[in-house]
Structure 1
Amino acid sequence: MKTYIYKIAALIVIATALHSCEDAIDLEPISDIGADGFYANADQVNLGIIGAYNSLQEKQFDEWVVTELRSDNTQLSFDNSQNANVPYRQLDQFVSNPLNEFTSSYWRASYKTIGLSNHVIEAIDVVEDATLAAQYEGEARFLRGHSLFNLVRLYGGVFIVTETVDASQARNLERKSIEEAYTVIIEDLEFAYNNLPDSYGSDQAGRATKWAAGLELGKALLTLGTSDSKVRAEIVLRDVVSSSGGRLLDNYEDVFDTNNEMNDEIFFAVRYQSGLVGLGAPFANLFSPRASENSVVFGGGDEFNVPTEGMESLYAANDPRAGVNFSTSWVDNVGNTNFERFISKYNSDFGNVDDAPNDWVISRYADAVLLLAETINENSGPTTEAVDLLNLVKNRANQPDAVATDVDTFFEFKLALEEERRKEFAFENHRWFDLVRNNRAVTVMNNHFATDFQYNDPDAPFFNTAPIQQFQTLLPIPQYEIDLNPSVAQNVGY
């Protein structure tokens, strides 16, 4: 039986300590006794860290809606009527608004993680062991940096909260620039990279390591995109690839096997546990076919996140990643075959709805390999080393080496990497961020909307989707923030 850092005792402590903030972003997750009263020793700080890790489950619940569903990888099932599941469809078709429940809930959940992390950082002085104090602060800053990194990529300029604030202060917060956000993100991730241990004992599996922080730092530096940051990204990612001890598993499917979680390829994951302990994953039910009852997973599915037809044509016939990531048919309880695409990457055996044991992998060695290839290309062009790194991932999937003449320019190699990342990380919430980082979101999505049958069905014209504009690559700031503080500027276009 696998061991989790998400202890039931910690859940009880957090449940009694948390309260919701009615006055804006959820910045006060500790009860009225205050952080100073709660965190009196190292054990309590450790519980605070565990609470921050646990909060990632709330954020992860909606992350696929604001990332993968907005990409060309997935779409809301068109079996639904035009009036069903409107908040999902708004994001799928880029007609979201500041009242959309998912843009709001993801924002709140992200700031809850940031708030929990801040409380740990502020209480770190009670940890007398200097090494342990650095670890706990590194973990908290990793979680804060990770959350802020996702926020700035999705919303643009956001609130930067690095200390506990009360409700009156929260009402007067101002959005900061993207550049200011990256300063904090990189400082947090650099601290974590320099202070977290390389690994933990098996009883601590799931805690952030130096290498999880290094990969996130390299990605943030690459995304920032300045000449200096790309050089720094290459240095960090080289260290992660060469020194972490991570590796590509021989078989792609083994990376996601529930009996093989936190394996040598995985650097960081949001962890789940089945058994009605409040830690089960909902994604198998959210993504499985609506009419499947118990024939695909226990309790059937909602069909909210469906692979597009482009995914079916993306993979070569002998590429094992396709069969792991999605299925093209399912057999019902009376033996009939139904030809419908659905994500199968998060499916497993479990006995209660929304209670699967599958972890959600956030970062893994394959990501570090392809990101290093990308930074080399950004800094030096498609060198032999960069092409070899690309081929390392392709070969694991039984695919031949990239043809040299097809990747011998900067842009050809960039596009080859983008396509390989789409295949490798399908339905892991990477695709949207990759398109934004490459400044290709508008081009790719408009081509997707123009060619995918689901958006051009003459019998369902209400699902047609107009070309998007650059402003739509950012989500709107939730309306409740502007209602509480009218000086907060809304993103252009909303």
Structure 2
Amino acid sequence: MKMKTYILRTAAALTILLSLQSCEDAINLDPISDIGADGFYSNTQEVNLAVIGIYNSLHLKQLDEWVVTELRSDNTQLSFDNSQNANVPYRQLDRFVSNPLNEFTASYWRASYKTIGLSNNVLANLDAVTDAELGLQYEGEARFLRAHSMFNLVRLYGGIFIVTEPIAPQEARNLERKSIEEAYAVIIEDLEFAYNNLPESYGSDQIGRATKWAAGVELGKALLTQKTAASTTRAEIVLRDVVQMSGGRLLPNYEDVFDTNNEYNDEIFFAVRYQSGLVGLGSPFANLFAPLQSENNVVFGGGDEFNIPTGDFETLYSSNDPRADVNLAFSWVDSRNNVNMERFVTKYNGNFNNVDDAPNDWVISRYADAILLLAEAINENNGAPTPEAIGYLNDVRNRANQGDIPDAQVDSFFDFKLALEEERRKEFAFENHRWFDLLRTNRAVTVMNNHFATDFQYNDPDQPFFNTPPIQPFQTLLPIPQYEIDLNPSVAQNVGY
């Protein structure tokens, strides 16, 4: 495998330091963890190391993101081959019966504020950077990474704490949740700054840092999610700029996008980076998602059988769609040549020799996302699909050997929305997009209730304890972690919890 770039190698050097800091966080029950500055920043090199530390913190956040997004969608579910008392925190989120004590609801919240806190520390110490252009870059990176965390938080939890500067623990205890609208104002301001000030590209030794185009895709998605006439108009402008000016493109072969020997290719705008080799930066997802008791027959060390593709994927892809083989498998062969008919995610299976140490990056945004978001913005702004919007949809379909979509399937505003929804599900399977897509289009309750009504696993008369009734709109939000409310009883819990 080719050598990873400077940003990831530097992150490896920071892992020991941040691991020690994480151990301290684990016993620190102050809300939002330790988000005060520590006096480390005295020159440009130290600020740069601090920026790298923000990127490194994404590993902690990414670890549980699939649990609070993909597992709550109709894309994946927890294995039903174990008892009702096994893996309860996962099962709660899968079946929308979570509560404020759920460990993943809490850990994702903590990890996100860890990233926000590290970003704020950098932003408060930019005076140490003597090069003005470099200072703007570091500010853009920190604000992009802060906005990325806040954007996910507000979509998952609703109103959140808005923290834009380092604060002391006592101040943190007295914070109040702000409205969704106030959160979006900060998110969009941060992303606009990053979009206008980050470099369009970096040298080969700096690949992995956020670019103008990574910020543009995130900004376009945030504006579309905000869903006002002005924000949707702005989203189209930004996304058109990304599509036309970034130099991004669809690779001819879908599988090449995720090839570990082809990372940060022309289709990828931003990814959370991983590196195998026992340097503390390996990816755990291959082992988390591989079949239980598969030993070394699927990936080294076997799997935990989490995040199982739902039965829908048996028929979702056509027989000639190459995305199916990249994203999942429907069986595996054990050491006795027995075929085990079990679905599992394969998208993050690389070559590695230690458990939880795969080399596969987790892609956050790519060109396919940009053109499908642009098609969505055009449809929203015009009240009907246009040839341009349909063309972007067909570009993605044709890369997957599906041909142009029949006119009858996209002859109205809503038909086109449904066609985009289906294509995005196929294209971004298991990339943590599906739940956010359903939230953005206000389809989450409808889609999930149909899923729970039709998927046999949630209606098995022999396992009635897994039966799942229709969800209510309040359940699309996660509860605020109980420890936050215990520390500050004035913090309002989400309705229904």
1:246-285 to 2 correspondence within 5 Å?
246-285=248-287
For the pair 1:9 / 2:13, whether they are aligned, the reply is yes
Partner of 1:269, secondary structure, is strand
Pick the aligned partner of 2:468 from 447, 465, 468: 465
Distance in 2 (alpha carbons) for counterparts of 1:157 and 1:78: 34
Pick the aligned partner of 1:88 from 87, 90, 102: 90
Distance in 1 (alpha carbons) for counterparts of 2:29 and 2:358: 34
Q: Deviations over 1:376-409 (max 9, x none)?
A: 0000120110000100000000002111122111
1:91-170 to 2 correspondence within 5 Å?
91-170=93-172
For 1:67, give the aligned amino acid: T
For 1:45, give the aligned amino acid: V
Once the two structures are overlaid, the 10-residue window that deviates more, 369-378 or 330-339, is 330-339
For the pair 1:28 / 2:34, whether they are aligned, the reply is yes
| C-alpha contact (below 8 Å) 1:442/1:469 kept by paired residues | yes
For the pair 1:453 / 2:459, whether they are aligned, the reply is no
Evaluate the alpha carbon distance shift between residue 272 and residue 187 of structure 1 in structure 2; reply closer, same or farther with a 3 A threshold: same
1:316-355 to 2 correspondence within 5 Å?
316-355=318-357
| C-alpha contact (below 8 Å) 2:4/2:275 kept by paired residues | no
| C-alpha contact (below 8 Å) 1:212/1:267 kept by paired residues | yes
1:410 aligns with 413
Shift of 1:354: 0.5
1:379-394 to 2 correspondence within 5 Å?
379-380=381-382, 381-394=384-397
Distance in 1 (alpha carbons) for counterparts of 2:278 and 2:115: 23
2:424 aligns with 421
For 2:464, give the aligned amino acid: P
Evaluate the alpha carbon distance shift between residue 319 and residue 214 of structure 1 in structure 2; reply closer, same or farther with a 3 A threshold: same
For 1:3, give the aligned amino acid: K
2:174 aligns with 172
Shift of 1:451: 0.4
1:225 aligns with 227
Distance in 2 (alpha carbons) for counterparts of 1:29 and 1:275: 31
| C-alpha contact (below 8 Å) 1:198/1:209 kept by paired residues | yes
2:238 aligns with 236
Distance in 2 (alpha carbons) for counterparts of 1:25 and 1:205: 34
Distance in 2 (alpha carbons) for counterparts of 1:74 and 1:3: 31
Distance in 1 (alpha carbons) for counterparts of 2:29 and 2:339: 51
2:208 aligns with 206
| C-alpha contact (below 8 Å) 1:142/1:192 kept by paired residues | yes
Distance in 2 (alpha carbons) for counterparts of 1:418 and 1:372: 13
Q: Deviations over 1:227-285 (max 9, x none)?
A: 00000000000000000000000000000011111100000000000111110000000
Q: Deviations over 1:280-306 (max 9, x none)?
A: 000000000002111000010001110
Distance in 1 (alpha carbons) for counterparts of 2:235 and 2:18: 36
Shift of 1:17: 5.9
1:47 aligns with 49
Shift of 1:201: 1.2
For the pair 1:488 / 2:494, whether they are aligned, the reply is no
Distance in 1 (alpha carbons) for counterparts of 2:46 and 2:20: 14
Pick the aligned partner of 1:399 from 397, 402, 406: 402
For 1:435, give the aligned amino acid: L
Once the two structures are overlaid, the 10-residue window that deviates more, 200-209 or 10-19, is 10-19
Evaluate the alpha carbon distance shift between residue 491 and residue 48 of structure 1 in structure 2; reply closer, same or farther with a 3 A threshold: same
Q: Deviations over 1:38-57 (max 9, x none)?
A: 10001000010011000000
Distance in 2 (alpha carbons) for counterparts of 1:160 and 1:213: 20
Partner of 1:290, secondary structure, is coil
Partner of 2:420, secondary structure, is helix
**Residue-pair matches, total:** 490
Distance in 1 (alpha carbons) for counterparts of 2:154 and 2:406: 36
Partner of 2:210, secondary structure, is coil
Distance in 1 (alpha carbons) for counterparts of 2:204 and 2:431: 25
Distance in 2 (alpha carbons) for counterparts of 1:312 and 1:391: 23
| C-alpha contact (below 8 Å) 1:26/1:108 kept by paired residues | yes
For the pair 1:431 / 2:465, whether they are aligned, the reply is no
| C-alpha contact (below 8 Å) 2:157/2:478 kept by paired residues | yes
Shift of 1:15: 4.5
Distance in 2 (alpha carbons) for counterparts of 1:265 and 1:489: 42
Evaluate the alpha carbon distance shift between residue 15 and residue 343 of structure 1 in structure 2; reply closer, same or farther with a 3 A threshold: closer
Distance in 1 (alpha carbons) for counterparts of 2:138 and 2:42: 14
Distance in 1 (alpha carbons) for counterparts of 2:223 and 2:92: 31
For 2:152, give the aligned amino acid: N
Shift of 1:221: 0.3
Distance in 2 (alpha carbons) for counterparts of 1:12 and 1:245: 37
| C-alpha contact (below 8 Å) 1:3/1:202 kept by paired residues | no
Evaluate the alpha carbon distance shift between residue 157 and residue 386 of structure 1 in structure 2; reply closer, same or farther with a 3 A threshold: same
For 1:483, give the aligned amino acid: D
For 2:495, give the aligned amino acid: V
For 2:127, give the aligned amino acid: D
Shift of 1:311: 1.4
1:64 aligns with 66
For 1:127, give the aligned amino acid: V
Distance in 1 (alpha carbons) for counterparts of 2:173 and 2:241: 42
Percent of residue pairs bearing the same amino acid type: 75
Q: Deviations over 1:168-190 (max 9, x none)?
A: 10000000000000000000000
Distance in 2 (alpha carbons) for counterparts of 1:180 and 1:404: 41
Evaluate the alpha carbon distance shift between residue 363 and residue 425 of structure 1 in structure 2; reply closer, same or farther with a 3 A threshold: same
